[in-house]
Amino acid sequence: MSNNELLRQVEEKARLWLSPFYDEATRNDVQRMLTKEDKTELIDSFYKDLEFGTGGLRGVMGAGTNRMNIYTVGAATQGLSEYLKKCFVHLPEIKVAIGHDCRNNSRLFAETCAGIFAANGIRALLFEDLRPTPEMSYAIREYGCQSGIILTASHNPPEYNGYKAYWDDGAQLVAPHDEAIIELVRSMQHESVKFNGPKELITPLGEETDLKFIERVKTVSLSPELVKKYHDLKIVYTPIHGTGVKIVPMALRAFGFTNIINVPEQDIVSGNFPTVVSPNPEEPAAMKMAIEKAIEVNADVVMATDPDSDRLGVATRNLKGEFVIINGNQTALLFIYYIITKMNENGALKGNEFIVKTIVSTELITEIAKKNKVGYYDVYTGFKYIAEVIRENEGIRKYIGGGEESFGFLPADFVRDKDAVSSIAMMAEIVVWAMSKGKTLYELLLDIYLEYGFSREKTISITRKGQSGAAEIQQMMTQFRTNPPREIGGAAVQWLKDYEMLVQTNLITGESTPIAQKTTSNVLQFFTTGGTKISIRPSGTEPKIKFYFEVHDTLKSYGDLDTLEATIDSRIDAMVTELGL
């Protein structure tokens, strides 16, 4: 399509938004874009429809078909409403839980969705104020809802917002419901959306739900006696302006911790995230103020949550006494190691337990499960796949933990999504468990490496925005799929796993075998004879393509750590260059 033809189509779509159906502010914004000489904003806002994908909606806020606004959110909600009425026609009442984070327009979108559900005869259980994603997931099961939604863009920059949809098990949508709803939403016209339903079908959720949720969070504790002994552990916690501001300290106190130190500037709830560039606990800059506070008060551990409190960040002192951020793979390792070891100590492992990790997460998690005779599953990136495994094993096997490299963990199945509220409380417990053994959290991590082998990971994210960026990302995937490297880092590439084709190929012998996954995913993985794993995956929620590097080696002692890390970092840097990144 020529640029002139694209612009003509975009302008035609945009002019439809000048009709009286759309509110005055929206019409004015569209008119501004139409008359602006530079058409970049107009094209990005209208060149496509914001796609309701398997992860829901996520995009920049503003007017346009490719933007988050009450009309695109409304179409998604109308489509979901119609699907719920088809699936649960036998019920006297259909219920949906609705939550939202701190982002600009999140409350507006949540109230808009509640009105649409009500207009469709569906009872909307609307949280009275911002609440964490895991609490919304919990509420679905607690109140017997058939679905749930949360308005959040997780850790994205301030200009973004998002919409995640859940099913009656408290988990994000999976097949067959996801594709069926996607088709309904794609065919939905904005004019078909029923806004402003009866207020009597909107029920507020408040403190009573918080208290119920916290009671369940308390059940994940495995060492209450140690928490009692070390109750004054110095914990610095920051919600980074988000939903954890009240509920996370409540959870820590419910566990028994009494010395929780906040970062006042970041306790201010704001969708502008005034103290950070990005509210992502994976980013050192987002943790900077909390670490400075920890140094000031001589704290034992630093913890943070992203805006919707599903991801957690953890910082602890290294062997030199400096605070360092534990990455997502290391966090998951600590959780899985602690849960399995402590359950063993307590005589609680019965032989039917299992853990779940994602395919891009460290393989050391699998080694811990294998050695302790605990079942394990590898799933695609996204907690909905972890939740799907939990549902399939319900009543048969016992879920004891699952996580992914992107700072998400779920220690118990009363929530069916990443749960930083429960996870932070458990991580504080792990710190005191290590203390009881004369160890720091960092030394406990190194002990895992000494026992199970050393692994170092690095993720490279390449951002390409707009229409041209999406095409470039697709071209990169095509190139790696059709012309895979035969050698990386001085070692032969033995296996190519293509999850879009569900085929794994031995590049040395040419042998191909099926991959045992129920659905496809646009992910490639290379495994070398030297034990390196490289995963390539376009993000489903951001204009990014991610490269995950995992390199294995042997750590013989604490004293070898710096040299080993530097050596592996050099090897990863060389691989990045080899791949042309």
Distance from C-alpha of 186 to C-alpha of 126, rounded to nearest angstrom: 26
Range 135-149 average pLDDT: 98
Structure tokens at 450: 């000494």
Listed in order, strand segments (DSSP E) in 398-532 are 398-404, 408-410, 454-463, 487-488, 491-498, 503-506, 512-514, 524-528
pLDDT at 148 over 70: yes
Clarify whether residues 300 and 447 are in a common domain.
yes
Domain termination residue (choose one: 175, 205, 235)? 205
Full residue range of the structural domain in which residue 90 is found: 49-205
Clarify whether residues 264 and 361 are in a common domain.
yes
Distance from C-alpha of 407 to C-alpha of 387, rounded to nearest angstrom: 16
The pLDDT confidence band at residue 374, using thresholds 50, 70 and 90, is: very high
In sequence order, the 6+-apart residues with CB closer than 8 A to the CB of 166 are 97, 136, 137, 140, 147, 148, 149, 150, 172, 173, 416, 417
- Sign of the alpha-carbon torsion through 54, 60, 66, 72: positive
Number of structural domains the chain divides into: 4
- Judge whether 402 and 380 are in contact, CB under 8 Å: no
Q: Cβ-count burial of 431 within 10 angstroms (0-12 exposed, 13-18 middle, 19+ buried)? A: buried
Clarify whether residues 424 and 466 are in a common domain.
no
In sequence order, the 6+-apart residues with CB closer than 8 A to the CB of 576 are 460, 547, 549
pLDDT at 324 over 80: yes
CATH number of the domain within which 164 lies:
3.40.120.10
Omega prior to 279 cis, within 30 of 0: no
- pLDDT for 124 equals 98
Distance from C-alpha of 148 to C-alpha of 99, rounded to nearest angstrom: 8
- pLDDT for 504 equals 96
Using DSSP, how many helices (H) and how many strands (E) does the chain show? Answer: 18, 23
Range 230-238 average pLDDT: 98
pLDDT at 556 over 60: yes
Structure tokens at 45: 């806002």
CATH number of the domain within which 462 lies:
3.30.310
Distance from C-alpha of 32 to C-alpha of 30, rounded to nearest angstrom: 5
Range 207-223 average pLDDT: 98
Domain termination residue (choose one: 153, 180, 205)? 205
Clarify whether residues 466 and 533 are in a common domain.
yes
The pLDDT confidence band at residue 472, using thresholds 50, 70 and 90, is: confident
- pLDDT (tens digit per residue) in 377-395: 999 988 999 999 999 999 9
Range 126-143 average pLDDT: 98
The pLDDT confidence band at residue 1, using thresholds 50, 70 and 90, is: low
Range 351-378 average pLDDT: 96
The pLDDT confidence band at residue 186, using thresholds 50, 70 and 90, is: confident
Distance from C-alpha of 429 to C-alpha of 436, rounded to nearest angstrom: 11
Clarify whether residues 155 and 289 are in a common domain.
no
pLDDT at 467 over 90: no
- pLDDT (tens digit per residue) in 104-118: 999 999 999 999 999
- pLDDT for 470 equals 83
Distance from C-alpha of 332 to C-alpha of 240, rounded to nearest angstrom: 21
Residues identified as active-site: 154
The pLDDT confidence band at residue 233, using thresholds 50, 70 and 90, is: very high
Clarify whether residues 265 and 136 are in a common domain.
no
The pLDDT confidence band at residue 541, using thresholds 50, 70 and 90, is: low
**With b meaning 16 or more CB within 10 Å and e meaning fewer, what string describes 67-83?**
bbbbbbbbbbbbbbbbb
- Sign of the alpha-carbon torsion through 269, 270, 271, 277: negative
Clarify whether residues 326 and 309 are in a common domain.
yes
Query: Average pLDDT of the chain?
Result: 95
Clarify whether residues 220 and 120 are in a common domain.
no
- pLDDT for 29 equals 96
Clarify whether residues 193 and 103 are in a common domain.
yes
Distance from C-alpha of 162 to C-alpha of 542, rounded to nearest angstrom: 11
Residue indicated by tokens 């016209």: 189
- pLDDT for 540 equals 67
Residue 386 phi/psi, 5-degree rounding, is -65, -45
Classify the phi-psi angles of 298: left when phi > 0, otherwise alpha if psi is within -120 to 50, otherwise beta: left
Assign 3-class secondary structure to 519-531.
CCCCCEEEEECCC
- pLDDT for 465 equals 78
Q: What is the pTM of this model?
A: 0.93
Clarify whether residues 494 and 412 are in a common domain.
no
Q: How far is CA 92 from CA 95, 123, 125, 347, in A?
A: 10, 11, 16, 45
Per DSSP bridges, beta strands 491-498 and 408-410 are: unpaired
Share of the chain above pLDDT 70, in %: 99
Range 156-176 average pLDDT: 94
Clarify whether residues 523 and 384 are in a common domain.
no
Residue 304, beta-bridge partner list: 238, 313
- 3-state SS, residue 363: coil
Clarify whether residues 285 and 253 are in a common domain.
yes
